[in-house]
A and B are shown apart, each in its own frame.
Chain A
């Protein structure tokens, strides 16, 4: 009964969304305030109804109602409660429901928090948002009903893939989706602005917090997914350039470009059509990601159960929304009046370079991801594009970006004094060059990229801090600088935190991929292995029961300089319901690096009691996670900036606010 209520709520939500997709926008055209304001009610009602449906589905999972196909296929009564809850979004249907829920919540958010948006813009934005909701709700109701009943009631379920029964992965989809789908509202704002034919700094200011919120969440989601792959998949990698990873990375890259381009539109009233285009394309890439993951078009290690029919429906949705938006863009963008002028050396140019490189990087990832498909369509030949391709094309694009990123914040708007800026960062340059030289000398014959990677990370870190110091005039007047710290806008702290966070993450990317060491050996109890200065003794394996699995747990005594520092307990888990084995690696985390151990049955023929032990040392890997957290917090701190607080500005007032 509850499930039917959920289904009914979805159908009602579709009706409400249909009304919202027409009434407010017509109202805006006729200047009818009542029609326009109807969006405020309908967007809240829509979100409420979809939340009811989502709650109903979650209820079915929590109570293990196996009469529902979705629950039967993805859950089991013996599963821990948290994974029953997370199984709600573990399947195609459930995750789609989450998708639509977030979509409607963003709509409701704009209607609730956007109190001082002009009626017309708000009405149009919410109507556009409702178009997307209509598309996805109908997709769900017609092809992927999450509440479909079984013809009989089975005694128990099939269980969720054990690899997915993990806290990292339980939280990964919601974060990722808030990011993905959050860009929808930015898309809606962009389309609404195109319909109005008018973009001004106030528009950019309204859009920025939403962009930032989505970006923060997407950053967190990608980092969490990466972290999960790192500790769960058992061999210490955190990024594989798999199509499914790429499609989440592309909106992030372009969203980052959008974040910076919107600043220029807000502060300097320029880059308008470009910002609009980025807003459209960022969400288009999110939709593209949804399409790739659910259509099975490209082979990937991760994917939902695929169905070409669904693929066709989503492609239709993509065509209508992206095609429609870009047609509107082609028609209206040339009419947007150009904005302020700037000199070749200025913050505008710096941010333009940022955008060019990020857009090119996005295009590169897209090209690498879809090229096999294009070639197959044209010639029938099948090729693979994997990590080596991206290492050779993407990385060279990132190096100039990071170099420019150190300079950019030092530049002033309109026209900057390059010599003065270089003066400010001369020590940063000197120290990073020195670091590169030291690494090349000490690690002679090692990977040159490692020296470059560490060098640019140090450069970015120091140059960003130098900018911060200059902003508070630390070197001129130390005592007064503390007072100035408090007067700095929060957005500045956010920027400093995010940029240094990226620098820290680059240390991690470089160290863990280029200085990784690895040992793979057969072990019998009592055997000892040496790696990266550690002495590791294998003490044997014991059987440990878990809630819905049986684990064979190894014990590894880790000694450093003759002193015991840790006992690592990697596990091999067997899930009887899914008849699946998983590897739970054991990791000793330190800032210097991770000691990563996993244990598995040997493939070849060996003596009884022998295990294959793989131990990795991953230098600096935790910098990736620390850097990611800094990026996320940087975004959140910016979000709390008074000037960015959602809905704070009014058009009139805004124009008198001086540029920063």
Chain B
């Protein structure tokens, strides 16, 4: 009996070590937070269109009409957004995706200048001045990009869609979304 008990500490340490080892796997990002919205319908908050630029505004009902849509959270003050803008525009054009923009905590004029400079790939843009829509969408930073199938969020990407490592899982998710 005593012999068996003596193994207990070892056993506990081995189990704990197993979890620690799992935690070290390089594909795991400890600061990543899974979105609570995946599998849920998109938030219903309607946002005013960005004035001074030609776009259709951000009406969830419209977004839900598309079989496949992307919602990209961006801001003119966000440096990685600038890097992401070109590749994302290209991707949307190449794949023929309905791309909507959520302009997060931005000044209207700054956002318009930014879009005039870099081009406007968005079908519609919502202006989220107070950051409320950002909370509704459960974002933790900018940029973030959501994939929606008929109004249901199926994937969220955190960070800029630049480079192979970041884009690969996103494209895979997009592929899967097409199948649905």
Contacts and interface: CB of A to CB of B under 8 A. Distances in A.
Q: Is there any pair of Cβ atoms, one from A and one from B, under 8 angstroms apart in the complex?
A: yes
Interface of A: 273, 277, 280-281, 284, 291, 295-299, 308, 311-312, 315, 318-319, 322-323, 326-327, 329-331, 333-334, 370, 373-374, 376-377, 380-382
A311 B24 contact: yes
A284 B23 contact: no
Contact of B19 (A284, A299, A374): A374
A333 B22 CA distance: 30
Contacts of B3: 330, 334
A87 B148 CA distance: 50
B10 to A, nearest CB: 4
Interface stretch (B29-37, B59-67, B74-82, B116-124): B29-37
Contact of B13 (A296, A323, A381, A382): A323
A295 B30 CA distance: 11
A298 B23 CA distance: 9
Contacts of B14: 323
A68 B19 CA distance: 36
Interface residues of B, number: 21
Contacts of B31: 299
B96 interface: no
B138 interface: no
B33 to A, nearest CB: 6
B17 A330 contact: no
A329 B34 contact: no
- Interface of chain B, main secondary structure: helix
Given A326-B10, A333-B6, A382-B34, A308 B26 contact: yes
Given A330-B9, A382-B33, 7 more contacts: A295-B24, A311-B24, A323-B17, A370-B16, A370-B19, A373-B19, A376-B23
A281 B17 contact: no
Contact of A284 (B13, B20, B21, B30): B13
Nearest to A322: B13
A334 B3 CA distance: 6
B2 interface: yes
Contact of B23 (A333, A377, A382): A377
A373 B23 contact: yes
A329 B9 contact: yes
Residue of B3, B7, B23 contacting most chain A CB atoms (<10 Å): B23
Nearest to B34: A382
B23 A277 contact: no
Nearest to B25: A308
Nearest to B12: A326
A376 B7 CA distance: 27
B6 A334 contact: yes
B4 to A, nearest CB: 9
A205 B102 CA distance: 69
Contacts of B24: 295, 297, 308, 311-312, 315
Contacts of B10: 323, 326-327, 329-330
B9 A281 contact: yes
Contacts of A284: 13
16 contacts: A284-B13, A297-B20, A298-B30, A299-B31, A323-B10, A326-B9, A326-B13, A327-B10, A329-B10, A330-B3, A334-B3, A334-B6, A370-B16, A377-B23, A382-B33, A382-B34
Contacts of B6: 273, 329-331, 333-334
B131 to A, nearest CB: 13
7 tightest Cβ-Cβ pairs between the two chains A and B:
A326-B10, A330-B6, A330-B7, A334-B2, A297-B23, A333-B6, A311-B24
Contacts of B23: 295, 297, 373, 376-377
Contacts of B30: 296-299
Nearest to A371: B19
Given A334-B2, A370-B16, A382-B33, A315 B21 contact: yes
Contacts of A323: 10, 13-14, 17
Contacts of A319: 17
A380 B24 CA distance: 15
B33 A277 contact: no
A374 B19 CA distance: 6
A90 B22 CA distance: 29
A284 B20 CA distance: 14
Interface string B101-143: 0000000000000000000000000000000000000000000
Contacts of A327: 10
A298 B22 CA distance: 12
Contacts of B21: 315
